[in-house]
Amino acid sequence: MSMLPLLNTLGVLNGVVLLDGTAAFLAALDPIGPAPAGPLPVSGTLTTNTGVPVVLGAALPSGTTVGWRLEAAPDGAVLRLTLPAGTTTAPVPDAAAGAVSETGAGANRRLRVTPTGAPVSLGVSGTVAVHLGATGARVTLEQLTVAPGASDVVLAGGFALGLPAGFTVADDVAELGTVRFVLPATVPLLGGLPLSAAVTIRREAAAFRVTLPPAGADPRVSGALAFQLPDGAALADLVPVAADVALALPSGTAPLGADGPVIDEAVTIRAVITRPPGAPGDLAVAVSAESGHPDGLLGGGGTSRGERALAMTVAVGPALTARAGDGGPVALGALFGAAWAFADLFATMGDYTVHGVTLQASGDDGTLLARLDVSAAVGIADIDLGLATITMDDDRPLRVRWRDIAATVDLSRLAAGDDPADALDLDFRSSHAEVVDPGGGRWRPPASRRTCCRSSAPGRAPVPPGSRWTCGSRWTSDR
């Protein structure tokens, strides 16, 4: 027999409207021993006949024994359940214990929280009250002490939490204190970044926002975490519905690790992570890096074959692909290979600058999407047209800036150890070309002092679509 018939017998349910949730809660409680007779107060022990939810999505497992006491209240009656010390919940759904490893230091400090496969249970003790009155019935977490069975927890989407050793719940308000949030490893550049935020959870649905950084935290980290918690929020709901996190990197930092480029000027990397309410694992990620310095985020250049090929890939990639008749995304491996050979024939020097990049990652399909803002300078060697030869001034190379180049990275291929070039596709269809400097050229021998870039003379270098090569250039004749 559950508590419902006993409460009816004691007359405390007269005129009380039981909603489904409260009725199911009482039906899951079975009194042990003879039924007590009134008047109130009366008490006894009971056992759970199924899982009974208590806190943060955790439930008392079937067979849990607790004490109970029913007493009169101004508006009816209250049933209090006393959970003794040592009471342990069933595993929390959609959460797993994690093991933490740390790499890097300073701005490059990152945490990796790996699921161990062990479940996460909560140790709970204290009182849960069921209020029964003319205005209705409700279950209240009156006073609980909670001790998580794991300090580090991995949630859906790869978010990880560092929980305090214990916290309290009073009148349905859980004061977790300072919680460490670790960004998913799939977030470009900022994956594994630890964040600290003070978290309070209320039993009813609530939306709240936490500003970063809290007092005493890393001042280089700024932004906010937004939460939208449903009624009876679970631990899994602590995946933010929106996270806007910025990390200020000083000059001299290598954001891609010790083997990556060192930035010469301060750079701000910002990650925006969003998810729909009710879908903690459905993350959308966008990461941007910006620098106000004229030299951009990073750059490179030189006379080696590879450096020239990279510059050529950026500067004339659209023209090469257009001539190949490939209207879709172009494999960088093929494009780079073409530029590699092309560079041997035409390019004598090359450099490139990454002005800005916005990365968008999906945790579902293992791909990384990027939008690039890149410029490249290319020096063109002598081009023999038969009747004349065109040369370009080494001191004033052609410079093209491409905005909004779409790039796709197959992260699974990178993880498998494939060549990075084969894991990256570029698509110039949505990009916008701008000739920053048309460069300086020399035409010989005809007496003409100027020629238009629209000339269809055979053998001329590929022209980036949407731009006009060498219009406005400084042309001179050797004749």
The 10s digit of each residue's pLDDT in 309-365 is 444 444 444 443 443 333 323 333 333 443 443 344 334 445 656 566 565 654 445
Distance, CA of 325 to CA of 323 (rounded, Å): 5
Distance, CA of 271 to CA of 188 (rounded, Å): 8
140, pLDDT greater than 90:
yes
Give the closest residue to 403 by CA, choosing from 451, 371, 438: 371
More confident residue, 307 or 197: 197
Give the closest residue to 124 by CA, choosing from 224, 198, 48: 48
Distance, CA of 192 to CA of 102 (rounded, Å): 9
In this structure, the answer to whether residues 281 and 343 fall within a common structural domain is no
In this structure, the answer to whether residues 195 and 134 fall within a common structural domain is yes
Residue 393 contacts residue 369 (beta carbons within 8 Å): no
Instruction: Say what the pLDDT of residue 253 is.
Output: 67
Distance, CA of 314 to CA of 357 (rounded, Å): 14
In this structure, the answer to whether residues 267 and 224 fall within a common structural domain is yes
Most confident of 17-21, 80-84, 264-268, 391-395: 80-84
In this structure, the answer to whether residues 459 and 396 fall within a common structural domain is yes
How buried is 431 (Cβ within 10 angstroms: 0-12 exposed, 13-18 middle, 19+ buried)? buried
In this structure, the answer to whether residues 371 and 330 fall within a common structural domain is yes
Point out the least confidently predicted range of 119-133, 175-189, 225-239, 248-262: 248-262
CA 258-260-264 angle, to 5 degrees, is 100
Domain total for the chain? 2
Instruction: Say what the pLDDT of residue 281 is.
Output: 87
220, pLDDT greater than 60:
yes
In this structure, the answer to whether residues 425 and 279 fall within a common structural domain is no
In this structure, the answer to whether residues 88 and 173 fall within a common structural domain is yes
* Torsion angle in degrees (nearest 10) through CA of 13, 15, 16, 17: 130
In this structure, the answer to whether residues 265 and 346 fall within a common structural domain is no
Distance, CA of 42 to CA of 70 (rounded, Å): 5
Per-residue pLDDT band at 247 (split at 50, 70, 90): confident
Per-residue pLDDT band at 248 (split at 50, 70, 90): confident
Range of the domain at 407: 298-477
Which tokens go with 292?
Answer: 């106000």
Which tokens go with 20?
Answer: 């489904």
Distance, CA of 193 to CA of 22 (rounded, Å): 41
Instruction: Say what the pLDDT of residue 379 is.
Output: 59
In this structure, the answer to whether residues 262 and 341 fall within a common structural domain is no
Q: What is the mean pLDDT of residues 379-404?
A: 65
In this structure, the answer to whether residues 105 and 230 fall within a common structural domain is yes
Residue 64 contacts residue 49 (beta carbons within 8 Å): no
Distance, CA of 57 to CA of 234 (rounded, Å): 4
Instruction: Say what the pLDDT of residue 255 is.
Output: 58
In this structure, the answer to whether residues 471 and 346 fall within a common structural domain is yes
Which tokens go with 350?
Answer: 């090359």
The per-type count for the chain, helices as H runs and strands as E runs, is 5, 31
Per-residue pLDDT band at 307 (split at 50, 70, 90): very low
More confident residue, 26 or 427: 26
Instruction: Say what the pLDDT of residue 453 is.
Output: 36
Distance, CA of 152 to CA of 143 (rounded, Å): 24
Instruction: Say what the pLDDT of residue 225 is.
Output: 94
First to last CA, the chain: 110
Residue 423 contacts residue 410 (beta carbons within 8 Å): yes
